[in-house]
Amino acid sequence: MVATEDELSEAVALRLAAEVQPALTVTQTLRRQGFGYLRSKMASWCQLAQQQPVFLLTDLDRLACPATLLTQWLGALTPPPNLLMRVAVREVESWLLADHLAMQQLLGEKGKLPPAPDSLDDPKQTLLTLAKKYAPRDVRLDLVQSTGAMACQGIGYNARLVDWVRTVWQPAQAATRSPSLHKARCRLQELAARCASIPP
């Protein structure tokens, strides 16, 4: 099972899970807008992970480090081995920005992409700024909010990036520039190996 904050994070999690099939097969996805839902259901995730692997993906946002987030979310709970909690530093957009080749296909080759996206204070804003300056018109209209709009992103933001994640983005390439993505892929591979070794 995959549990995420939003549509884009879900697409990323499913892309990562696809790398370890058939050892791990996603049978269910759960998501809401924001991390509050994920945090409020921690006891449920732990319980579910007693029966099946659970891959939970969230953003670090403004917290100091992933360890702080995990401590706050888990409290007195002891996560079972099949609960895999991974944190994108600081947002899942940093993992997207880390694949420079794929990002150039999306935004064009003129913009300077960040060499260490995990160190960005606001990866999503970095992506939007690059899109506004350098992206082809159709991509820019999807990603960037129109003048006067309330949202910080364009109405086609999720649809455009979800399709790009599914068809262009390469996690292995991105992991070379994102330590938090590298760790997520390693832990997911370890979980898959462990599950594959358990007799049916």
pLDDT of 23 > 90? The answer is: no
Q: For the purposes of burial, counting CB atoms within 10 Å of the CB of 155, is it exposed (0-12), middle (13-18) or buried (19 or more)?
A: middle
Identify the weakest region by mean pLDDT among 26-30, 128-132, 147-151.
Answer: 147-151
Reading the block at residue 55, the tokens are 């891959």
Residue 149: the pLDDT is 55
CA 146 to chain centre: 25
The average pLDDT across 119-139 equals 96
State pLDDT tens for residues 48-84. Answer: 999 999 999 999 999 999 999 999 999 999 999 999 9
Q: What pLDDT score was predicted for residue 197? A: 80
Output the pLDDT for position 196: 85
Average pLDDT over residues 74-100: 97
Q: Given this model, what pLDDT does residue 148 score?
A: 57
Q: What is the pTM of this model?
A: 0.95
Q: Is 135 helix (H, G, I), strand (E, B) or coil?
A: coil
Residue 59: its H or E element:
strand 54-59
Average pLDDT of the chain to the nearest whole number: 94
